[in-house]
Amino acid sequence: MKFMLATILLMFSVPCYQETMVKAGRTVAVEGGRLKIKFEAVVDDSRCPQGVDCIWSGNAEVVLKVTTTDGKSATVKLNTNLNPKEVDFHGYKIKLGRLSPYPKKDEKIEPSQYEAILIISKK
């Protein structure tokens, strides 16, 4: 009985989230298609490149277009190091988990090379 109660409590205390990858210019559907997220662009990438000594780690800012099946939509900006790193949108929390590739010294990242890991949870 104690084991069953502990299991039930654990199920309700563990946050339910979905981690998904989306490439620049592409759209992903999450939450059974109830939420669509388009990775519009990286508008700024000042992250300190590998092989370079920097005063601070820098920041990258991405633009996402988020749409629900009932037609609600918004364009949001999320950051890797500065705020906002996450946004609440119609019952969902969307967080930028990681942006790749990471800059390297003397290498240019083409816009189409970017991939974002997004963490989506139901509020």
User: At 110, which helix (H) or strand (E)?
Assistant: none
pLDDT, tens digit, 9 for 90 and up, residues 9-63: 455 545 578 999 999 999 999 988 899 999 999 999 999 999 899 999 999 999 9
pLDDT at 40: 98
Q: Compute the radius of gyration of the chain from its Cα atoms.
A: 17
pLDDT at 82: 96
User: At 6, which helix (H) or strand (E)?
Assistant: helix 2-13
Q: Classify residue 100: in a domain, yes or no.
A: yes
Q: Classify residue 99: in a domain, yes or no.
A: yes
Q: Classify residue 102: in a domain, yes or no.
A: yes
**CATH number, residue 106:** 2.60.98
Torsion of the alpha carbons at 101, 86, 33 and 40, rounded to the nearest 10? -50
Q: What is the pTM assigned to this prediction?
A: 0.84
CB 58 within 8 Å of CB 81: yes
Encoding tokens for residue 120?
Answer: 């989506």
Q: Classify residue 8: in a domain, yes or no.
A: no
Total structural domains within the chain: 1
- d(CA 91, CA 87) in angstroms, rounded, equals 10
